[in-house]
Amino acid sequence: MCDQTFVAVTFGPCDSCSKASPLMNIYIKNEPINYCSFCVEMMACQGLQKGETLASLKRECDNLKKKLEEERGKLNDVELHQVAEKTEVLGALSVKTRRVLKGHGNKVLCMDWCKDRRRLVSSSQDGKVIVWDAFTLNKEHGITLPCTWVMACAYAPSGCAVACGGLDNKCSVVPLSLDKTENLAAKKKSVAMHTNYVSGCTFTNSDMQLLTCSGDGTCALWDVESGQLLQSFHGHTADVLSLDLAPSETGNTFVSGGCDKKANVWDMRSGQNIQSFESHESDINCVKYYPSGDAFASASDDATCRFYDLRADREVAVYQKDSIIFGASTVDFSLSGRLLFAGYNDYTINAWDVLKGTRVSVLFGHENRISRVRVSPDGTALCSASWDNTLRIWA
Amino acid sequence: MQNLLCTNPSFSPVLIHNFSLLSFIYSVALPRMSSKAHSSNNIAHARRTVQQLRIEASIERIKVSKASADLMNYCSEHARNDPLLMGIPASDNPFKDKKPCTIL
């Protein structure tokens, strides 16, 4: 069980006792209530006096879970791969390594593409964050962070900044300047503060807001300029390892997956957990939305990748093979969503046919486990980052 | 953080099983750790769980057949724009090596 220390969102007068103290933001009947932790306990004890015992609550909990399973089961009239039998079978992929990006001194843990489709940022265990030009293999910027294990990095939508974080429990934003002699590490600004390692970060639709997830079991939305916490998302009962923002412009949801084997879908404005999926048998290492925003895929240590549909509220496909016994650490969809690329701990990348559930191709080349796989924004190439200190571009 | 400890792939399958066994033991051991001092915490936690489940049980769902049909439609509509799926000529792909041009 992780250290789920509460990041105090607000400090101020409690709604019930009017004493100034760190407030717990909880929701009762969708109404936000700001009570200090003492008053929350008092409220819980009052609930007990009304005849609600722990046992009765547990019973209601179990009944609701059963009802949820029944409701979901009623709509499972056909499997995705049965519906997809009409579509044509995909030919083998003619995808090869086109570029090998060497330069990191240690395991590459994360990478992200820039919206201009040619730059990418990668971070590694030795604390270095490098911005590359993928066409020319040029290293455009190099930032050295004081911490090791930079597990998360993201490119800002404008292309003018990168965010990175890891074992330092922070996520920092570094503005990229055109002046090559400038020391970028000096302009680094700490935005997110968690109580455990930062495992994933992404900018929202603008450079102004940053969404992070952490080993302390929470996700959080931050304002980059002021460093203020705008919203925190509580619900995971173990480390959160990955998150992904919904693709649509108006969408305000994101999905997160963690060591509690659950993938949760959250509403960014209210902080509410909208949907929860628990069918993996081990830690979920990565989650990624389908390009239409109606579904998402997850990769897990149980050697399977699973595909969940949000409107049907259930798992609709499992991508597994008896010959695959190593955990999957990362997934990404191709532009149309027909292909799912998954990186595994057995040093390979498998390409799956999303609709039919079959494996289309295996990409060999890396010499250690794959940590991250990302398709470029225009879909022309796939970049993979690995513990063998290199990144490869496949096209 | 467990996956960070597996460095040698030949040991990984055994380690994965051990960790899942450990997490099972851990999850079973947790309820026994609660004492009277934590009982109000448990009630608050149970109430939150019940509320969360009520919200989840009340959302609107559609049939898997309809959801699958929509996914298939999306795929077929966008398939021709997908370079990795369809393959684009080497001249359009900046990563593919172009044929050397011969100067006559």
pLDDT in tens, A128-143: 999 999 999 999 999 9
Considering just the CA atoms, what is the radius of gyration of chain A in Å?
22
Predicted pLDDT of residue A35? 73
What ipTM score was computed for the predicted complex, to two decimals? 0.79
Task: Pull the structure tokens for residue A300.
Answer: 């897990």
- Does the CA dihedral B14-B15-B20-B22 come out positive or negative? positive
Name the domain count of chain B. 1
Q: Would the CB atoms of B81 and A135 count as touching at under 8 Å?
A: no
- Residue (of A215, A171, A170, A222) closest to A196 by Cα position: A215
Predicted pLDDT of residue B45? 81
Q: Would the CB atoms of A314 and B64 count as touching at under 8 Å?
A: yes
pLDDT in tens, A20-47: 777 776 666 666 777 777 776 676 666 5
Predicted pLDDT of residue B2? 45
Of B9, B40, B76, the CB nearest to A346: B9
DSSP 8-state symbol, A123: E
pLDDT in tens, B50-73: 888 888 888 888 889 999 999 999
Could you say which residues of chain A have pLDDT below 70? 1-10, 25-31, 40-41, 43-52, 180-181, 249-250
Chain B interface includes A69 (CB < 8 A): no
Chain B interface includes A257 (CB < 8 A): no
Neighbours of A195 (CB within 10 A): 16
Chain B residues within 8 A of A344 when measuring between CB atoms: none
Chain B interface includes A367 (CB < 8 A): no
- Residue with the larger pLDDT of the pair A258 and B28: A258
What's the whole-number average pLDDT of chain B? 68
Predicted pLDDT of residue A237? 92
Please name the CATH architecture into which domain A97-394 falls: 7 Propeller (2.130)
SS3 letters across B2-64: HHHHCCCCCCHHHHHHHHHHHHHHHHHHHHHHCCHHHHHHHHHHHHHHHHHHHHHHCCCCCCH
| Domain assignment of residue B82, given as a range | 62-86
Chain B residues 3-62 with CB within 8 Å of chain A: 3, 6, 9, 12-13, 16, 19-20, 26, 30, 39-44, 46-57, 59, 61-62
For CATH 2.130.10.10, list the domain ranges present in chain A.
97-394
pLDDT in tens, B67-104: 999 999 999 999 888 888 888 877 888 888 766 666 65
Predicted pLDDT of residue A27? 66
* Residue in chain A nearest B90 by alpha carbon: A395
Task: Pull the structure tokens for residue B65.
Answer: 């057949």
Distance CA B59, CA A163 (A): 35
Residue B76 lies in a domain: yes
Distance CA A265, CA A248 (A): 15
Predicted pLDDT of residue A33? 73
Site from A82, A240, A335 to mutate, B interface, most B CB atoms within 10 angstroms: A335
Predicted pLDDT of residue B6? 41
Residue B21 lies in a domain: no
Does B13 score more than 60 pLDDT?
A: no
- Residue (of A87, A72, A75, A95) closest to A358 by Cα position: A87
Residue B77 lies in a domain: yes
Q: Would the CB atoms of B64 and A378 count as touching at under 8 Å?
A: no
- Rounded to a whole number of angstroms, the distance from the CA of A67 to the nearest CA of chain B is 7
Q: Model-level pTM?
A: 0.80
- Rounded to a whole number of angstroms, the distance from the CA of B101 to the nearest CA of chain A is 19
